[in-house]
């Protein structure tokens, strides 16, 4: 992810427009190639972080566009892993070495200099760590990643954004909607004509100011979006103490190398799927989650769907995390009006306590049975309990 100092944009008439680089320009390709050569060499030679920074810094300073070079370098650094120079308890090693040296000094004995086999005593400090892994890519792909990252950097400052997805490929639309849910974004879904979907998403500045975690999740949505055939995004962002409008669409030619949605599924979801399969013989997770009609052109896109092995009945699960309190109230009202909806709700304890939930649904015991509380992520046992009593 790029930092604020890497952002290149134009601001005029209350609008902000990202300044994208020409991915075919010789100067940009040369800079990208030079930086990639440095990082590939760093991996081959096990170069230290400080040496890598020195070499990449010389490429940046020699580049005709230092801001572009600095941004490319940041993206390459994000793809690089570092590790201590040796498998060694460095703090203990330094303590022992210093203690021994101090004792020899007291005795008036000068210790001999370290031999070539003696490990660097500061090998665990960031500057002396060595490059252990690097995810390589072609120069053109690096420039495409840079353009995508420019737009992502602006989205971090969004207070609100609206997505319009007109792709006729329903499976592609599902991928975007799953990404919205899995990144726990505060979003509302509604229908557009010709099978299109509108998604209204609250940004971090609308919820609680510059929250880094939520902002990064919001920016991570863009790589899923750009592979659609037709899409548009309109956002309100706060930048340089100004409220500005941002518009992005497929005409910008943005690309993402990550075309499989599995790349965007958090590890907790994978573990949940595995644990559910191990624990449940009577229910299984359904692969294709449908859109549920909530009336007034509004739709519900559940987080997960489950099918009963015995009856074939399908029940859907919608999760409400700590910033979904407002949406939870409207969903409970919907269930009161339409109890026939095959929907169960998992509610983060950060939203409400058991006593508060009991009081809110005191006159609706059947709906209360379809709701349960969780911390961070719902457990399989509670999910199965609610599924079984809802089916009855």
What's the pLDDT at 116?
Answer: 44
pLDDT band, residue 360 (cuts 50/70/90):
very high
- Domain residue spans of the chain: 86-122, 156-264, 266-391
Evaluated on CA atoms 159, 195, 291, 224, the torsion sign reads negative
- Phi and psi for 72 in degrees, rounded to 5? -60, -40
Measured distance CA(234)–CA(15) in Å, rounded: 11
Round the average pLDDT of the chain to a whole number and report it. Answer: 86
Residue closest to 183 by CA, chosen among 313, 72, 319, 87: 319
Q: Which residue has the tokens 């969903």?
A: 331
Which of 123-137, 155-169, 172-186, 319-333 has the lowest average pLDDT? 172-186
Q: Which residue has the tokens 């566009």?
A: 65
C-beta separation of 155 from 148 below 8 A:
no
Q: How many CB atoms lie within 10 A of CB 328?
A: 20
The β-bridge relationship of strands 158-165 and 130-134 is unpaired
Residue 178 has pLDDT above 90, yes or no: no
pLDDT band, residue 266 (cuts 50/70/90):
low
Strands (E), the chain: 9-12, 15-18, 80-83, 130-134, 158-165, 187-191, 197-202, 231-239, 242-249, 283-286, 292-295, 298-300, 304-308, 314-320, 343-348, 371-374
Measured distance CA(48)–CA(54) in Å, rounded: 10
What's the pLDDT at 248?
Answer: 96
Residue closest to 25 by CA, chosen among 106, 143, 194, 162: 143
Q: At what angle do helices 26-45 and 139-155 cross, to 10 degrees?
A: 100
Evaluated on CA atoms 349, 355, 359, 363, the torsion sign reads positive
Tens-digit pLDDT profile for residues 14-49: 999 999 999 999 999 999 999 999 999 999 999 999
Measured distance CA(291)–CA(145) in Å, rounded: 32
Percent of the chain with pLDDT over 70: 90
Residue 138 CA, chain-centre distance (Å), reads 23
The side-by-side arrangement of strands in the sheet containing 304-308 is 283-286, 304-308, 314-320, 343-348, 371-374
Residue closest to 77 by CA, chosen among 89, 61, 60, 94: 60
C-beta separation of 231 from 249 below 8 A:
yes
C-beta separation of 181 from 268 below 8 A:
no
Say what the pTM is: 0.78
Q: Which residues pair with 147 in a beta bridge?
A: none
CATH of domain 156-264: 3.30.70
- Phi and psi for 17 in degrees, rounded to 5? -130, 125
Residue 129 CA, chain-centre distance (Å), reads 27
Residue closest to 319 by CA, chosen among 293, 300, 339: 300
Residue 81 CA, chain-centre distance (Å), reads 19
Residue closest to 177 by CA, chosen among 159, 147, 200, 194: 200
Which of 363-367's residues contact partners 24+ apart within 8 Å by CB, and which partners? 364/335, 364/336, 366/339, 367/332, 367/335, 367/336, 367/339
pLDDT band, residue 114 (cuts 50/70/90):
low
Count the residues in the chain.
392
DSSP 362-377: TT-HHHHTTEEEESSS
Query: Distances from the Cα of 371 to the Cαs of 304, 361, 383, in angstroms?
Result: 15, 10, 9
What's the pLDDT at 380?
Answer: 92
What's the pLDDT at 44?
Answer: 95
Residue 172 has pLDDT above 70, yes or no: yes
């Amino acid at each position: 992810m790029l930092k604020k100092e890497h952002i290149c944009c134009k601001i005029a008439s209350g609008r902000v427009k990202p300044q994208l680089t020409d991915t075919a320009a010789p100067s940009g390709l040369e800079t990208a190639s030079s930086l990639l050569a440095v990082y590939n060499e760093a991996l081959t030679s096990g170069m230290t972080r400080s040496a890598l920074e020195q070499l990449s810094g010389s490429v940046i300073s020699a580049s005709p566009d230092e801001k572009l070079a600095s941004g490319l370098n940041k993206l390459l650094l994000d793809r690089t892993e570092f590790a201590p120079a040796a498998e060694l308890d460095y703090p203990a090693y330094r303590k022992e070495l210093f203690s021994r040296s101090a004792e020899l000094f007291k005795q008036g004995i000068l210790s001999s200099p370290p031999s070539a086999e003696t490990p660097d005593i500061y090998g665990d400090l960031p500057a002396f760590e060595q490059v252990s892994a690097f995810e390589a890519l072609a120069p053109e792909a690096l420039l495409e990643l840079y353009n995508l990252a420019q737009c992502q950097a602006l989205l971090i400052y969004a207070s609100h954004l609206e997505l319009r997805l007109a792709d006729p490929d329903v499976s592609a639309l599902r991928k975007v909607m799953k990404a919205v849910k899995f990144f726990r974004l505060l979003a509302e879904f509604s229908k557009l004509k010709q099978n299109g979907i509108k998604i209204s998403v609250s940004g971090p500045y609308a919820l609680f100011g510059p929250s880094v975690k939520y902002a990064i999740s919001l920016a991570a949505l863009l790589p899923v979006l750009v592979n659609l055939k037709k899409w548009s995004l309109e956002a309100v962002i706060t930048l340089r103490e100004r409220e500005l409008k941002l518009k992005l669409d497929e005409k910008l030619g943005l690309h993402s190398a990550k075309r499989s949605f599995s790349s965007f599924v958090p590890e907790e979801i994978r573990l949940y799927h595995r644990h559910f399969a191990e624990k449940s013989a009577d229910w299984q997770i359904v692969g294709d989650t449908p859109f549920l009609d909530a009336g007034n052109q509004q739709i519900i896109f559940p987080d997960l769907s489950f099918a009963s092995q015995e009856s074939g009945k399908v029940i859907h699960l919608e999760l409400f995390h700590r910033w979904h309190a407002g949406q939870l109230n409207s969903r409970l009202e919907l269930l009161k009006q339409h109890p026939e909806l095959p929907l169960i709700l998992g509610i983060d304890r950060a939203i409400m306590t058991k006593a508060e939930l009991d009081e809110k649904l005191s006159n609706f015991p059947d709906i209360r049975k379809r709701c349960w509380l969780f911390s961070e992520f719902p457990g399989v046992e509670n999910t199965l309990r609610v599924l079984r009593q809802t089916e009855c």
